[in-house]
Amino acid sequence: MNLRHDIYELVQHIPLGYVATYGQIAHLLGLPHHARQVGYALYQVDLDSEIPWHRVVNAQGKISTSPQRHGTDEQQRWRLEAEGIEFDRQGKIDLRRFGWRPAWLQTSEKP
């Protein structure tokens, strides 16, 4: 399958109340150095899609902003807060608390 499809498939596994990073998604797919491609793929997701695109943030635990998002980054924050995720004063998420830890990493299983 193509890259975008793989990315979408994996993002759907991020559980409610947790977040993953762009680089983490790329690594889980066995594609290091493809973090930017993850961001590019998510940029193209329809806002009303089933894909929980809002559960992906950058490695610093912050929502990545861009003029081209036309405010969807704001919507991302609302959605995450609605799921119980907390932001600190600098708009950062504590990845130790809210970072996704896929179960299959410990059980040597794959989705």
Stated as kind and residue range, the H or E segment containing 17 is none
* Smallest distance, DNA to C-beta of residue 82, A: 15
User: At 55, which amino acid appears?
Assistant: R
**25 in Cβ contact with 101 (< 8 Å):** no
Contacting positions for DNA (CB under 7 A): 2-4, 21-24, 33-40, 42-43, 45, 53-54, 56, 58-60, 63-69, 72-73, 76, 90
Nearer to DNA, 10 or 63 (CB): 63
Nearer to DNA, 90 or 107 (CB): 90
Contacts of 13 (CB under 8 A, 6+ apart): 102, 111
